[in-house]
Chain A
Amino acid sequence: MERALETIARLGRTFLAAIERLGRATFFLYEVVIATRPLARRFFLVMQQVYAVGVLTLLIILVSGLFVGMVLGLQGYNTLVKFGSEQTLGLLVALSLVRELGPVVTALLFAGRAGSALTAEIGLMKATEQLAGMEMMAVNPITRVIAPRFLGGILAMPLLAALFSAIGVLGGHLVGVGLLGVDAGAFWSQMQGSVDFYDDIVNGVIKSVVFGVVCTWIAVFEGYDAVPTSEGVARATNRTVVYSSLSVLALDFILTALMLGEI
């Protein structure tokens, strides 16, 4: 009896702690958004972060995009050729990249490469009391450290996703037209005939912006909220990758459902 009560109480404690953490994260997001205003005059800080999360993530995004596009070309061709419609390969590659794979895979890679680095950096700043030091000097660490990183991530993410999709289409072209002999004209014309600018491309960009906000929000919050020990920072980095990936996949379903208007 005693033990059963204790188990239920523990469940309640965990649940309350999760809710409380979510609340803290929301207040934190509000503070960060307010703190982005003074950054208009100190845009160099944001630019530094665009370099850190954008330019340094470029290589992994481009290489993955190329390979994902090439695999799509190969797999798509093998299925389409059974129906004698290998001409639509371009359409298949472009639609899957622009609508789904571009934003989602970019966000997953972004969480792994840039998100974890952000958390580790901010967590370590907290552990070595740099953030406390800033407050001592009357510098608001949220304006100086967190907000530029948040904004930099949001700016970099859509560009990375667009690059991923574009290079993926080229990868599909490389395999489909170069290797498997699909007609180049049909490849592009089928694609252009059915990919809609607003329904497909703009919706893909909207997705990537949402993923950018969510991934960087989780990354900076986990860093700022980390237990200031080396173990705490390690755990926070781990949580960033797990939470970011899960939220991206779940949000992707919700956004797709909203965009297709089926629900």
Chain B
Amino acid sequence: MNRKTLELWVGLFVAIGLLALAMLAFKVGNLTTADVLNSYRIKARFENIGGLKVKSAVTMAGVRIGRVSEVSFDSVRYQAVVTMDIDGRYKTIPTDTSATILTAGLLGEQYVGLEPGADEVYMKDGETIRLTQSALVLEKLIGQFLFNQAAGGDKGK
């Protein structure tokens, strides 16, 4: 086999190999949405974050606008502090925005949903969201439900 044909075949092989890798990166993986460009950080305190993890999505109106970059515990106030990286393109988040921990589907993973307020002053880097609502813990909910059932049953007698 002469040199030219060999180089052609090897070139073709390398090209489709790299193409496959690119497909895995962009089509299968989430490289395009993973890196948030020139992001800024905001914080929120929650009583209970449920199953929220680092890299969980932060959404507003259902659109992913950032991700959770750090989860820590405040041992003075016994609260969870969630730090979020918000995409730099979305700079107009009102200061009275509320944050809720939601679940995608019944058994899906948890994410932070931001509900915009009406304030015309916007959040800056490092600020904290004041209005928060904790994650729904299924066990607590079931416990409450059972308790109500039992109480209701007594009344019925």
Contacts and interface: CB of A to CB of B under 8 A. Distances in A.
Interface of A: 44, 47-48, 50-51, 54-55, 58, 94, 98, 156, 158-160, 162-163, 165-167, 169, 188, 191-193, 195-197, 200-201, 205
Contacts of A94: 28
8 contacts: A50-B10, A54-B17, A55-B12, A159-B13, A159-B21, A192-B29, A197-B29, A197-B30
B90 interface: no
A47 B7 contact: yes
Contacts of B7: 47
Contact of B24 (A55, A98, A193): A98
Contact of A188 (B27, B31, B33): B27
Nearest to B18: A159
A159 B25 contact: no
A162 B10 contact: no
A58 B15 CA distance: 13
A135 B55 CA distance: 58
Given A196-B29, A196-B30, A201-B25, A165 B6 contact: no
A158 to B, nearest CB: 8
Contact of B10 (A55, A160, A167, A197): A55
A209 to B, nearest CB: 12
B24 A166 contact: yes
Rank and list the top 3 A-B pairs by shortest CB-CB distance, nearest first.
A159-B17, A166-B20, A162-B20
A9 to B, nearest CB: 51
B23 interface: yes
A201 B20 contact: no
Contacts of B9: 51, 55
B34 interface: yes
Given A98-B24, A201-B24, 19 more contacts: A47-B10, A48-B6, A51-B6, A55-B9, A58-B13, A159-B13, A162-B18, A162-B21, A163-B17, A165-B20, A165-B28, A191-B28, A193-B30, A195-B29, A196-B55, A197-B25, A197-B29, A201-B29, A205-B21
Name which of A54, A166, A188 has the most chain B CB atoms within 10 A of its CB. Answer: A166
B28 A159 contact: no
Contacts of B27: 188, 192
A188 B17 CA distance: 21
A65 B13 CA distance: 16
B17 A195 contact: no
B3 interface: yes
Interface in B15-69: 16-18, 20-21, 23-25, 27-31, 33-34, 55
